[in-house]
Structure 1
Amino acid sequence: MLKFLRDADWTKREGLAQLTRALGPENLRWVGGAVRDGLLGVPVHDVDGATTLLPAAVIAACARAGIRTAPTGIAHGTVTATLADGPVEITTLRRDVATDGRRATVAFASDWCEDAARRDFTINALYAHPETLEIADYFGGLADLAAGRVRFIGEARARIAEDHLRILRYYRFQTRFGADCDAQAEDACAELAHTLKGLSRERVCAELLALLGLPDPHATIARMRERGVLPVILPEACPPHIAALGRLIAAEAAQGIVPDAVRRLAALLPPSPEVAEAVAARLRLSKSQRARLVAAAERGAGDAADPAGLAYRLTPAVAIDRLLLIGADAARLKGWEPPLFPLKGGQIVARGITAGPHVARILQAIESRWIAEGFPGSERIAQMLEEELAGSGD
Structure 2
Amino acid sequence: MSVTLDLTQSRAKPQLAVPPALRPAPADEKPSLIGMSRERLGEALAAVGVPEKQVRMRTQQLWHWLYVRGVSDFSQMANVAKDLRQKLDDAYTIARPEIVTEQVSVDGTRKWVLRFSPKGAGRPVEIETVYIPEEGRGTLCVSSQVGCTLTCTFCHTGTQRLVRNLTPDEIVGQILLARDRLGDFPDAATPAGAIVPSEGRLVSNVVMMGMGEPLYNFDNVKEALGVASDGEGLSLSKRRITLSTSGVVPMIAKAGEEMGVMLAISLHATNDALRDELVPINKKYPLKDLLDACRAYPGLSNAKRITFEYVMLKGVNDSLADAKELVRILKGIPAKINLIPFNPWPGSRYECSDWDQIERFADFVNQAGYASPIRTPRGRDIFAACGQLKSESERMRKSERDAMEAARISELAAG
**Higher share in helix:** 1
RCO comparison, higher one (Cα < 8 Å, 6+): 2
Q: TM-score, normalised by structure 2?
A: 0.29
More strand by share: 2
TM-score using structure 1 length:
0.31
Larger Rg: 1
